[in-house]
Structures are given as C-alpha cells and as structure tokens.
C-alpha cells in the first residue's frame, strides 16, 4: 500500500509540474477559491460546496508537497 501511495504522489508531481499542469493548477486555484473566502451568506449548503472544491485543491497541493518533502528528507536537501 505504501508503494502505491508513493507511486500516486509521483504521478501527481509528473502531471502538475509540467507546463500544462502548472497552468491547470493555476486555473484550479482560482476556481476552487483557494485564496478567497468560501463562505456563502445564508446558504450552508453553498458554503459546504465551496469548501469541497477548496479541499480538492488542497489535496493536490498536499500530494505535491509531500512528494517534495519526502525527497528532501531522503537527500538532505532543505529546499
């Protein structure tokens, strides 16, 4: 299971660090309200929907970050 997760993290990196992937990630950042409020006044379902979009984007970032952090731990590279 661990190898499968590591392989998946590697695939995320392959996809989202390409030129096209970086453009898609930037588009998702805007569409998923990563840098904006997700609160929808008087609409708890709307707020939950917006938070769901934001959570997917955060998952992608976490998969990319974990891949980078794991590589840095094994190589001793702090950046």
CA distance 66 to 51: 22
Residue 75 has pLDDT above 90, yes or no: no
- Cβ-count burial of 67 within 10 angstroms (0-12 exposed, 13-18 middle, 19+ buried)? buried
Residue reference for tokens 């990630």: 25
| Domains in the chain: boundaries | 2-75
Residue range 13-69, pLDDT digits in tens? 999 999 999 999 999 999 999 999 999 999 999 999 999 999 999 999 999 986 555
pLDDT at 43: 98
Q: Is the pTM of this model over 0.95?
A: no
pLDDT at 1: 86
Residue reference for tokens 């990563």: 34
């Amino acid at each position: 299971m661990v190898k499968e997760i590591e392989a998946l993290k590697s695939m995320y990196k392959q996809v989202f660090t390409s030129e096209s992937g970086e453009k898609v990630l930037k588009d998702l950042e805007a569409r998923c309200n990563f840098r904006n409020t997700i609160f929808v006044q008087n609409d708890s379902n709307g707020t939950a929907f917006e938070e769901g979009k934001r959570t997917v984007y955060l998952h992608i970032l976490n998969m990319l970050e974990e891949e980078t952090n794991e590589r840095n731990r094994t190589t001793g590279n702090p950046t």
